[in-house]
Amino acid sequence: MLQADGITYEIETQDGPLKLLDNVSFNVPKGHFMAVVGPSGCGKTTLLKAIAGMIAETDGRFFWNGHDLAEEDFEPTEIGFVPQFSIAYDQLSVDENVESAAKLRCKFESLDDLDDSIDNALEVTGMEGIADRDVKILSGGQKRRLALAMELVSNPRLLICDEVTSGLDPRSEHDIVNLLHEVSRSDGRIVISVTHSLAHLDRYDSILVMHQGCVAYHGSPKTILHYFGVSALEEIYPKLQDRNGVSWCRSWAKHRESYYARLEKEREQKMLSGELPDPNAGPTDEQKEGTSTPAGEADGEGISSERASSGKETAAASETGEEAIPEVPGFFTQFFCLLGRRWRIFFRDRSQLVLQLVMVLLFPILVAMFTDKGTGQIVGLSATQDVQTLQKDIEAQQLNMKTGSAVSGIIMFEVILLGLMGSNNAAREVAGERAIMEKEKYAGMRPSSYLASKLAYLSVLVLVQSVWMFAFVDFFWDRGGSLTHLFFLILANAAMTFVCLGISSLAKSADQASLLSIYLVGFQLPLSGAVLALPEQVESFIRPFISAYWSWSGSISALKPDVYNAVKNVLDTGLTPALICYIVLGAHVACGIAASYIGIRRSSWEL
């Protein structure tokens, strides 16, 4: 039983406090299918978010099977939420999306259990015939079914759906409403569906009508016309406008008990007729013996009711006589599931794959084109003062300066290109899938598993890109301090990648994250001091944040002494010892990871 008792949700606006929900109260028994309807902006989605605990009510309390939800929240697998937006990855198939939802949400005893759960969810939603199909080619109705299948893998006791029928053709809408109806008929599950549509209201057990954040009616679809004194459902919304929300709420409070009595009577009749299974009935003898009795056989609801109930759960429930709530899987199960899924998406996202290949292959070629300028002989200068030797020394000095500038430039070029790759690696990594991540976190995914999977995935990209850049350029250019140079290239890329991951995790949108990351890379070269020395006051303030400087400076510090001196002679900017450069770049990586964790943990449902 879900009970809302005087729920109020107030926000501060420029014009003062605004109540999005105002003293909302209702009861929903087990095995119930409820519609939430009302004009646009009346607070339907806000109510769903409040039930789901995504926003904290200002006043009032929700009770779930007698427990105060303010004290004891839902278990992640106890509640399923089908949002308005798609929570599936376009690059994956139906089957793969359902599988990853199952692996992230529930701990399975065996692979057979996992397969059963996936098959069951696909069968209930009628998706088994198109399980291999990619999500990007699914119709709107099929996408809604997929979203439902992804929720049903955890067999939630409470399923809330936000406008899952909007934008669908009448046939698809009819099918989805029937599907939700069937889902509500198994395991005493409550299904609450927000809808704009007034079609198919007879399929629901009760209708909650909202107006200006208040409850205007909650009762049987059979009595709704009588309550509003209208002859057709279409007349309800215009009728609501006659009075404000508070006035409707007051009227409803006066009539509520009689309409609830009628609703309860209908419920008893449905149970007697077998249309509704008795959710309070204990487990059957077969269930006690551990057999998976189809709910449909017991209640005459047909095969779909049976399918909506997982055999594993029934068996588990039979031992205790209580509802079994699946456990959330461990850190490593979630980590490997997320990592595997990320690589699968990487290899299927052709545009991203091509961009990565172009960058990895082309950028080292660009650098190699300049390496002959950096291979000039560094010549020592003589101590004698005769004119001929001085002339030779001037020429040698010019040559040394040319080589020194070229070496400095080539190293900075490598560093900047790797920074660009780093920014491309991570800028959209979290921000681009924020909504899906929030949804998965809500369903039990650990932020730490998610972050670890991103770090593992990005680390591989960083290593491949940096090592290949180093190896390719090294083939054409005999530089000194090779290994140290490699480490600094890896760090240049890693620092930019993880700082951009932090930006991506904290940004409000993927576009904002991309823009900030591009600016960050764009400012690296001018602010590094490699081209023009910065004014002293600016330099000390800005330098700690410019990863390109530390990678460049560290790499130069590791060059052979004669090359190092030649480079140093042409620079106005001071160089820093390699050890300090390592420390600062390590700090960039650490800050990026810390920012990512903060951003990933933070809840951003309002996005």
Ligand X SMILES: Nc1ncnc2c1ncn2[C@@H]1O[C@H](COP(=O)(O)OP(=O)(O)OP(=O)(O)O)[C@@H](O)[C@H]1O
- Binding-site ranges for ligand X (CB under 6 A): 11, 13, 20, 38, 40-46, 196
Tokens of 324: 């079994």
Q: How many Å apart are CA 200 and CA 544, to the nearest integer?
A: 63
Contact 309, 188 (CB under 8 A): no
Nearer to ligand X, 41 or 526 (CB): 41
Nearer to ligand X, 42 or 224 (CB): 42
Query: Exposed, middle or buried by CB within 10 Å (0-12, 13-18, 19+), for 473?
Result: buried
Q: How many Å is the Cα radius of gyration of the chain? A: 32
Q: How many Å apart are CA 151 and CA 344, to the nearest integer?
A: 22
Eight-state DSSP code of residue 134: B
- Least CB distance from residue 52 to ligand X, whole Å? 13
Nearer to ligand X, 23 or 408 (CB): 23
Nearer to ligand X, 45 or 352 (CB): 45
Question: Between the CA atoms of 383, 388, 394 and 400, what dihedral angle is there, to the nearest 10 degrees?
Answer: -70
**Strand boundaries in 78-201, DSSP class E:** 79-82, 158-162, 190-194
Residue with tokens 């300090």: 580
- Least CB distance from residue 502 to ligand X, whole Å? 26
- DSSP H or E segment with residue 179: helix 170-184
- Least CB distance from residue 42 to ligand X, whole Å? 4
- Least CB distance from residue 210 to ligand X, whole Å? 7
Nearer to ligand X, 38 or 422 (CB): 38
- Least CB distance from residue 212 to ligand X, whole Å? 9
- Least CB distance from residue 200 to ligand X, whole Å? 17
- Least CB distance from residue 598 to ligand X, whole Å? 22
| Of the candidates 211, 196, 203, the residue with the CA atom closest to the CA atom of residue 163 | 196
| Of the candidates 52, 192, 173, 57, the residue with the CA atom closest to the CA atom of residue 605 | 52
Amino acid at 97: N
Nearer to ligand X, 20 or 407 (CB): 20
Nearer to ligand X, 42 or 325 (CB): 42
The CA-based angle 405-408-413, given to 5 degrees, is 120
Nearer to ligand X, 46 or 86 (CB): 46
Q: What are phi and psi of 146, to 5 degrees?
A: -60, -45
Give the β-pairing of 206-211 and 214-219. antiparallel
Nearer to ligand X, 47 or 94 (CB): 47
- Least CB distance from residue 146 to ligand X, whole Å? 21
- Least CB distance from residue 268 to ligand X, whole Å? 32
Question: Between the CA atoms of 406, 412, 416 and 422, what dihedral angle is there, to the nearest 10 degrees?
Answer: 130
Nearer to ligand X, 40 or 231 (CB): 40
Q: How many Å apart are CA 159 and CA 80, to the nearest integer?
A: 5
Contact 207, 215 (CB under 8 A): no
Q: Is 444 left (phi over 0), alpha (psi -120 to 50) or beta?
A: left
Nearer to ligand X, 386 or 606 (CB): 606
Neighbour count for residue 393 (Cβ, 10 Å): 18
Nearer to ligand X, 83 or 444 (CB): 83
Asked whether the CA dihedral 505, 506, 508, 512 is positive or negative, the reply is negative
Amino acid at 254: K
| Of the candidates 58, 52, 44, the residue with the CA atom closest to the CA atom of residue 245 | 44
Eight-state DSSP code of residue 138: -
- Least CB distance from residue 253 to ligand X, whole Å? 21
Tokens of 463: 């290593």
187: CB partners within 8 A, 6+ apart: 155, 157, 279, 295, 308, 309, 313, 323
- Least CB distance from residue 517 to ligand X, whole Å? 27
- Least CB distance from residue 24 to ligand X, whole Å? 11
Tokens of 116: 């059963």
- Least CB distance from residue 251 to ligand X, whole Å? 20
Nearer to ligand X, 9 or 259 (CB): 9
